[in-house]
């Protein structure tokens, strides 16, 4: 595991609203046949050429790029449906594939909304410790002008992509961050090849002793974040996915530097209490630490006492 420089919602918030799935097949977008891409000529409405070449090297995920990722410039992005809706961003399912070949992959496209539709009404606490060099921009963000909201949206996208890159490199279980372009973040799709998304922890029916493997994974990922001086900032059972027994953490635009942010310790403890309450409520028995012990453990790992 490689280190990186750490200085640089109970209730759900931000983009953690309940997902809205196709009612005919809950949890799965309607996937067209693989040969549907063969007919692309001028691109049907809703399709686009791959945006891979539009992102600079610093706007692409860590190297080496995964073998499953399609990076060919001849690829086409086909939008397959909505995976999740939220207050600040919506997540769409895309297939990126090269027409006439079997070379394709599924991606999750997280798109932050335009300024007039964005509701950054609870962002002040997360933005503490995040400032930009230009005083005009800082003032606009503080006063929530249209320009300021646009800059805040860019900060959310940049913060999420940057955190995902660092955490993926460090071995934290997060989706592979494919690329960022403006306020769209393309991510590894966590789910099945047929487009069925991995369930959230809150949607699982596991209880009691069977929860111990999942709990231990959550403890490990939170401890790793704390060692790097970070807190998720809005962790709950709604932004932890369970894919084939593996816990994957998502929704990281509000990641908090617990040293730079005056309320860092609060966010660190709140993450621990939120997930601990869910596991306790589902009769967790056993584990490396108890839910009651987790907040103190995270403070210690973060060097906050």
Q: Which residue has the higher pLDDT, 263 or 128?
A: 263
Question: Measured between alpha carbons, how far is 300 from 305 in angstroms, rounded to an integer?
Answer: 5
pLDDT score at 97: 96
Picking from 80, 81, 76, 94, the residue whose alpha carbon sits closest to that of residue 40 is 76
pLDDT of 274 > 50? The answer is yes
Sequence length of the chain is: 305
pLDDT for 188-211, tens place per residue?
999 999 999 999 999 999 999 999
Residues 6+ positions from 180 with CB-CB distance below 8 Å? 55, 59, 157, 158, 161, 186
Cβ contacts of 96 within 8 Å, gap of 6 or more = 50, 70, 75, 76, 77, 78, 104, 105, 106, 107
pLDDT band at 253 (very low <50, low <70, confident <90, very high): confident
| Parts of the chain belonging to CATH 1.10.510.10 | 201-301
22/260 Cα distance (integer angstroms): 42
Helices vs strands, H then E, count in the chain: 6, 10
List, for residues 173-188, the tens digit of each pLDDT value: 999 999 999 889 999 9
d(CA 255, CA 76) in angstroms, rounded, equals: 32
Residue 11 binned pLDDT confidence (cut-offs 50, 70, 90): very low
Count other Cβ atoms within 10 Å, centred on residue 77. 22
**Active site residue ranges:** 234, 251
Residue 127 and residue 121 in contact, taking contact as beta carbons nearer than 8 Å: no
- Model pLDDT, residue 145: 52
3-state secondary structure of 102: coil
Q: Within the chain, which residue ranges are assigned CATH 3.30.200.20?
A: 34-188
Residue-level pLDDT at 126: 43
Lowest mean pLDDT among 81-85, 94-98, 196-200, 268-272: 81-85
For 48-93, what is each residue's pLDDT tens digit? 999 999 999 899 999 999 999 999 999 999 999 999 887 778 999 9
CATH number belonging to domain 201-301: 1.10.510.10
Q: 34-188 — its CATH code?
A: 3.30.200.20
């Amino acid at each position: 595991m490689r280190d990186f420089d750490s200085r640089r919602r109970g209730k759900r918030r931000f983009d953690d609203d309940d997902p809205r799935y196709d009612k005919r097949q809950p949890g799965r977008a309607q996937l067209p046949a693989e040969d549907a891409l063969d007919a692309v000529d001028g691109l049907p409405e809703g399709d686009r050429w791959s945006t891979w070449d539009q992102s600079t090297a610093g706007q692409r995920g860590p190297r080496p790029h995964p073998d499953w990722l399609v990076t060919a410039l001849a690829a086409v992005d086909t939008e397959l449906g909505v995976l999740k809706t939220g207050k600040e961003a919506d997540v769409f399912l895309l297939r990126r594939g090269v027409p006439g070949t079997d070379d394709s992959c599924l991606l999750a496209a997280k798109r932050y909304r335009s300024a007039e539709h964005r509701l950054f009404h609870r962002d002040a606490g997360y933005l503490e410790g995040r400032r930009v060099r230009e005083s005009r921009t800082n003032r606009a963000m503080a006063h929530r002008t249209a320009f300021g909201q646009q800059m805040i949206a860019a900060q959310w996208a940049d913060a999420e992509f940057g955190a995902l890159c660092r955490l993926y490199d460090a071995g934290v279980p997060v989706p592979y961050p494919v690329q960022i372009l403006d306020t769209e973040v393309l991510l590894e799709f966590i789910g099945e090849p047929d487009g069925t998304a991995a369930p959230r922890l809150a949607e699982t029916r596991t209880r009691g002793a069977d929860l111990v493997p999942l709990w231990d994974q959550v403890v490990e990922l939170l401890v790793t974040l704390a060692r790097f001086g970070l807190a998720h900032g809005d962790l709950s059972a709604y932004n932890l996915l369970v894919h084939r027994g593996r816990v994957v953490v998502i929704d990281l635009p509000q990641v908090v530097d617990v040293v730079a942010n005056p309320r860092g310790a609060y966010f660190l403890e709140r993450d621990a209490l939120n997930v601990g309450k869910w596991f306790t409520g589902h009769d967790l028995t056993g584990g490396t630490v108890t839910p009651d012990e987790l907040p103190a453990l995270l403070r210690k790992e973060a060097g906050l006492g």
